[in-house]
Amino acid sequence: MPARVIIELVTKTAEQVWFEEKARAAGFESGGALARKHGLKPYRIKQLYRAATKELAGEVAQISVLSAELRAALIDDGFALESVEPVVVQRSNDRQTSKGLFRLADGSEVEAVLMEHHGNRTTVCISSQAGCAFKCSFCSTGQAGFTRNLKAVEIFDQARFFARELKTRDKKITNIVFMGMGEPFHNYDAVMDAVRLLNDPNGFGLGHRHITISTVGLVPQIDRFAAEGVQVNLAISLHAPTDQQRSAMMPVNQRYPIGELMGACARYVTQTGRKVFFEYIMLAGVNDDDASARALANLMRGNLYHVNLIPYNATPDAELRGTADVRIRVFQKILEAAGVPTTVRVPMGRDIAAACGQLRAETQPRAHEAAVK
């Protein structure tokens, strides 16, 4: 049997991933052990899964298709639909952005952000790790260091939280971006399981094309992702067009320099036929001069690439300044004149510190200082 078929046979369904992780979170050694103890037949597990991921029930007690006895017994055993507990939820003054700080079972904290754009588009930005190991100079999460990988359900439940909130206003999540805390490709398997949970037509049901994974540029994982055969969007945090500039901002560039990274992106486009999005954070005097724009245009030339220029969200710790809007426009014009499709990200939620890692940094000053030392 070819290797690919074998891999597909052992891949768990979204429902299996969900039930297994929920059972373990309740202290059982496996989903099977929980099912045996409560005599849960497969259709019961399906009912639980659907209630949590499709109907978005608040808690086990509200799942009326289950008998009151079964609900009570599951609750007694610590079985819960939520694996992330909101600690703080802030809404921006314009009410378009809500940011949540969530506590996980072990006390780790992660952030997720809901952005309600004009029209009906709603994007939720979720975290894949508590902390981050990559230490990009401009990012608050990186400065506080790495805590741990998130489980697939812990990633998924951030989306579930906001989906439930939106439902009270008859709205839905239309897009998910893995642009919160952590490096998704450094927690590859759990992130792909979370994608399965988000996408499952029998559950949450969000189309692959509405999901974007953003990476610092881990070359082996980009190749692996290209081979997955999923229509999920890929975004690369490029941020600088030369190795010298990029290594100064992103230590990962020493491991995977721009030449290797662009090689992986080209292979991805060839293999998938899909576009790659490049994120480029605009920092005054660092990467926003004309020469940088031309060098960036050269890297982008002739391929299915799109540049997203990102106004910098000032973080308390970094001594960096964002590029002025007029200068961003000049930079964009140079790229467009070279034929590179370029958009400028609209900043949202600045009044609630909605950039990566900022809320956690504000609420945990001591943990943060300790990590910097």
Catalytic residues: 111, 356
Using the rule CB under 6 A, give the single segment among 41-49, 89-97, 267-275, 309-317 that binds ligand SAH. Answer: 309-317
Task: List the one residue out of 79, 67, 118, 120 whose CA is nearest residue 96.
Answer: 118
Q: Does 312 bind ligand SAH (CB under 6 A)?
A: yes
Q: Does 188 bind ligand SAH (CB under 6 A)?
A: no
- 8 class by beta-carbon count within 10 Å (0-12 exposed, 13-18 middle, 19+ buried): exposed
- The smaller minimum CB distance to ligand SAH, of residues 53 and 128, is found at 128
Least distance from C-beta 313 to ligand SAH, angstroms? 4
Least distance from C-beta 115 to ligand SAH, angstroms? 13
Using the rule CB under 6 A, give the single segment among 14-22, 69-77, 134-142, 193-201 that binds ligand SAH. Answer: 134-142
Task: Give yes or no for a contact between 336 and 342, defined as CB atoms under 8 angstroms apart.
Answer: yes
As given in the structure block, the two tokens for residue 255 are 């491991």
- The smaller minimum CB distance to ligand SAH, of residues 53 and 253, is found at 253
Parallel, antiparallel, or unpaired for β 85-91 and 129-131? unpaired
3-state secondary structure of 6: helix
Q: Does 179 bind ligand SAH (CB under 6 A)?
A: yes
Query: Which residues in the chain belong to E strands, given as ranges?
Result: 85-91, 97-103, 109-116, 122-125, 129-131, 146-149, 175-178, 211-215, 233-237, 276-282, 305-311, 342-344
Q: Does 355 bind ligand SAH (CB under 6 A)?
A: yes
Map the footprint of ligand SAH across residues 224-283, applying CB under 6 A.
237, 279, 281
3-state secondary structure of 162: helix
> Which one of residues 149, 212, 215, 253 is an interface residue with ligand SAH (CB under 6 A)?
215
Contact letters (x/-) for ligand SAH, 28-67, by CB under 6 A? Answer: ----------------------------------------
> Which one of residues 112, 152, 216, 353 is an interface residue with ligand SAH (CB under 6 A)?
216
**Residue holding tokens 């190795």?**
243
Using the rule CB under 6 A, give the single segment among 9-17, 131-139, 198-206, 222-230 that binds ligand SAH. Answer: 131-139
Using the rule CB under 6 A, give the single segment among 21-29, 136-144, 164-172, 219-227 that binds ligand SAH. Answer: 136-144
Task: List the one residue out of 183, 68, 88 whose CA is nearest residue 128.
Answer: 183
- The smaller minimum CB distance to ligand SAH, of residues 222 and 355, is found at 355
Per-residue DSSP letters for 209-270?
GGEEEEES--HHHHHHHHTT----EEEEE---SSHHHHHHH-THHHHS-HHHHHHHHHHHHH
Task: List the one residue out of 186, 191, 196, 264 whose CA is nearest residue 227.
Answer: 264
Least distance from C-beta 165 to ligand SAH, angstroms? 22
Q: Please give the residue ranges that form the binding site for ligand SAH (CB under 6 A).
A: 136, 138-139, 179, 183, 214-216, 237, 279, 281, 310, 312-313, 315, 355-356
